[in-house]
Structure 1
Amino acid sequence: MTLPLPPIDDADLAQLHPRLTADDPTVRRLALIELAELENEDHAPWLVAALSDREPEVRAEAAGRLAYWESPETVTALLASLGDADAGVREAAAHSLTEIRLPGSGRLLVAALGQQAAFVRASVLRALRELRLPESFEPALAAALAPEAVVRFEAVGVLGWLKHPDALPVLTRLAEGDAEAEVRRAAVGALGLATDASVLPALLSALRDPVWQVREEAATTIGKLRLAEAAAALIGALEDDYWQVRQRAARTLGRLRDTRAVAPLAAFALGHSSANLRKEAAIALGEIGAPTALDALAGATRDADPEVRKSARLAIAQIQGASIVGAS
């Protein structure tokens, strides 16, 4: 090891010491595992010291095990390991940082966003996402315009979790025109934080995106926001080349309960080769509740897939129950 180890101050450490300092890196790594499994926070400095081991496999083990010991010292050490020469060590440190739960640790992450390396910034943003720290908003907003796609992607994740309306202009810009499909998809999903229809043009544009995963995400976000103005575009999406997009469009049309979708759902979804899509179409027709769907649903009760048959029967009962309630 290149750093001095903390003192041996208990029987467990005394027993493990010969293996923690052995010449064989495999022995050192296995000793670290045993040390970590003792779950004694006083042993964390030994794991931190192992981040400077000469062998990458030992450093990676230490980085992974430090996920369970959150303190300013361990967070600082893991941040330093994001710059390790070995990719496996860097990945282990990045994963451990995603286990951070304390706001104080999160503030150490925010301070690290000034680093130049894209991997470091992206890893820090990923770790910040679920903490929802208000002070991470401005740095994440700036990072959403970074030249590196991986940084933009992770920044969008932070903005989506924060749900700050001031992020909508940047998210809209990314959803409509980012060069990377994964960034567009993430931005489209993050537009679900909107509280009105101002994001509708961006979502309609995303429904025409050349990448099907972006179109799928757009249909999902429209459903979350229940944007009835998008019903016509979603009906068009029932003829998408990808069943995954059709399925999300069907699900959202059910939420919108637009009766114009009944015939297209029956024609383009209920008879599709994908059982998942047929099931979703049956559910959507039940939610819409139009009696004109009963004939198509009756046919679906004889579908080859049991889940589709069940969904069709439930949809028929739903429609008939609504009709009885309406007539009473």
Structure 2
Amino acid sequence: MTQTLTHRLADPDPTVRRLAVMDLPYSEEDDIVPLLLPRLADDDAGVRTEAVRALEGFEQPEVVQALAPMLLDADAGVRKCAADVLAELKETASAAPLLPLLKNGTAETRAAAFRALRALRSPAAFDPAMRALRDPDAGVRREAVGVLGYLKNPAAVGELAEVAANDPDGEVRRIAIGALGYSTTVSVLPALVRALADGVWMVREEAAQTIGKLRLSPAIAELVQAMQDEYWQVRVKAARSLGWLKAQAALPSLVASLTHPVSNLRKEAVIALGEIGDTRAIAPLEASLGDPDPDVRKLARLALTAIGLTQRKPS
């Protein structure tokens, strides 16, 4: 490292120190970590923020150990930057310094720690995440549900279904519905069906998609009803799931959607009709060959081909 950069990192002016930290990743220094770690304790929040940001991608144990306490920094900007950087961790072993923060600190800190733990898939985060489903802070509950969704532990299915049905926060309910997508049991069906009538449209949207992912054909009637939802986004996911389920009972609703003003819904309806493969959809699909959206026209041709191929298959 040049003598100039050494002096800049120790300069009395915080602006000079901050710019020096920003320059470090572009310097000729082979190992910048030992130079950055002391700057995490800098008196200036701007310097600390840049030091945190510069350490992104370094997952040595000493780096993670030093970054974890930054979630408790007195400055909100530093805390946010640390949360963002820690959320990019990939090594499961990096979970250890984060776990103590789930018991201490503010709700903001607990939420950030859970967010960082999510992609690490550390089994040690399971029990804290289960307890956090009852946390008074909705932000903490959201991140805890995300951790459980990534861990895919069957032991969490019942609790997640309960949260999906009854949590007072709509976003928590939505995330819980999505997390149930790893379930292999139909026991989640009542919670998903109930979610199709949720007062928050994003929850209904997530439920419509999750039912299809799980191939829960007992919910076909409810998905057909969801094709009348006031939000086209919900209808899009319902159409997608009805196609996955090859639900012939959805034919009238899907055909009606071929003239909806939103092209995304028309596309999904065309795809679903092709997947269902019912010859009664041929005439409506042929009409879609004149759709103003070129993607709809292309998908209609593919759907007509799929129906033709389906009919040629031996029984």
TM-score under structure 2 normalisation? 0.96
Unaligned runs of 5+ in 2: none
Give the aligned residue type for 2:185: D
Residues 143-193 of structure 1: per-residue CA shift (max 9 Å, x gap): 122111011000001100110011012111110011111100000000112
2:273 aligned with 1:285: yes
Aligned pairs for 1:235-246 within 5 A:
235-246=224-235
Aligned-pair distance for 1:38?
A: 4.0
2:258 aligned with 1:270: yes
2:152 aligned with 1:166: no
Aligned-pair distance for 1:39?
A: 8.0
Cα distance in 1 for partners of 2:211, 2:29 equals: 48
Matching residue of 2:68: 79
Aligned-pair distance for 1:57?
A: 1.3
Unaligned runs of 5+ in 1: 1-11
The alignment yields a C-alpha RMSD, in angstroms, of: 1.5
Give the aligned residue type for 2:217: A
**Identity rate of aligned residues, in percent?**
50
Cα distance in 1 for partners of 2:279, 2:176 equals: 38
Matching residue of 2:177: 188
Residues 194-222 of structure 1: per-residue CA shift (max 9 Å, x gap): 10211000000110001110000001111
2:140 aligned with 1:146: no
Counterpart of 2:86 (choices 83, 97, 121) is 97
Matching residue of 1:316: 304
Matching residue of 1:122: 111
**Secondary structure at 1:301's aligned position in 2?**
helix
Aligned pairs for 1:103-114 within 5 A:
103-114=92-103
2:125 aligned with 1:136: yes
Aligned-pair distance for 1:109?
A: 1.4
Matching residue of 1:305: 293
Cα distance in 1 for partners of 2:260, 2:121 equals: 41
Instruction: Provide the aligned length of Structure 1 versus Structure 2.
Output: 315
2:209 aligned with 1:220: yes
Aligned-pair distance for 1:316?
A: 0.8
Residues 215-258 of structure 1: per-residue CA shift (max 9 Å, x gap): 00001111110100111000001111011000000000000001
Residues 262-306 of structure 1: per-residue CA shift (max 9 Å, x gap): 111111x21111001001100000000000111111111111111
Matching residue of 1:53: 42
Cα distance in 2 for partners of 1:276, 1:93 equals: 38
CA 1:13 to 1:147, structure 2 compared with 1: closer, same or farther past 3 Å? Answer: farther
TM-score under structure 1 normalisation? 0.92
- Check the 8 A contact 1:41/1:69 in 2, yes or no: no
Cα distance in 1 for partners of 2:312, 2:299 equals: 20
**Secondary structure at 2:160's aligned position in 1?**
helix
CA 1:40 to 1:176, structure 2 compared with 1: closer, same or farther past 3 Å? Answer: farther
Give the aligned residue type for 2:47: V
- Check the 8 A contact 1:303/1:309 in 2, yes or no: yes
Cα distance in 2 for partners of 1:256, 1:129 equals: 31
Matching residue of 1:6: none
